[in-house]
Copies of this chain bind each other. A is one copy, B any other.
């Protein structure tokens, strides 16, 4: 199936208390979203609308915020901290981010990104009359590989892992790799249409054969007891 990714332009700069979903309804309407499309929203606009921002005038303020957002530290080297967030995500600086916000402020992760995604989804369903899945994305580094990619940190209406267990390849052989992190692939794909410096904070992804369902982003987090890298 052909996959299409439409950038969603027109979102204004979001401030705490803004009705993000009403704004999303406005900018999405001209794109005529369809049932089965996936709306990807970068977490920054969600965090800002929800007030998940904090003052940080100095490097020390920043370090303190990282410490308070982290539930544990996986590695530390110089200024770089790889930490576990209260959601269980392992990422740099516990997700505290200085870019794309005005003044001496930083953006934190949304408190409950799945809930945020669910709220957005429900309202879009009501106001636009379409059944969209919603993915809230953030930009993470990786072990072993350079550069960053976007991943899913909150979801609604999509099973984040596509489980192909019992599926055979073209030769009737059971697939070895059975769990595809499809929500992360969707987040990465959406980033290609959004870019980092464009101010575009959302994209509509069409044509992905995902499994609808409740889903939780925590399904994308490896059980710490089975994780060989923390």
Residues of A within 8 A of B (CB): 1-7, 13, 75, 77, 82, 89-90, 97-102, 139, 142-151, 160-162, 164, 167-171, 173-177, 179-182, 184-186, 188-189, 191-193, 195-197, 199, 207-209, 219-222, 227-230
Partner of A193, one of B1, B99, B219: B1
- In the bound complex, how far is the Cα of B2 from the Cα of A151, in angstroms? 20
Residues of B close to A6: CB separation below 8 A: 2
Q: Which of the residues B3, B7, B167 comes within 8 Å of A197, measured between beta carbons?
A: B167
Asked if A192 and B186 make an inter-chain contact with CB atoms under 8 angstroms apart, the answer reads: yes
Residues on B with beta carbons closer than 8 Å to the beta carbon of A196: 164, 167, 169, 175, 177, 180
Q: CB distance B191 to A148 under 8 Å? A: no
Question: Please, how many angstroms separate the alpha-carbon atoms of A172 and B211 in the complex?
Answer: 40
**Which residue of chain B has the shortest Cβ distance to A82 in the bound complex?**
B228
Other than the given A146-B220, A150-B185, A175-B197, 8 more pairs (CB < 8 A) read: A99-B169, A144-B229, A145-B151, A146-B222, A168-B197, A185-B188, A195-B209, A229-B229
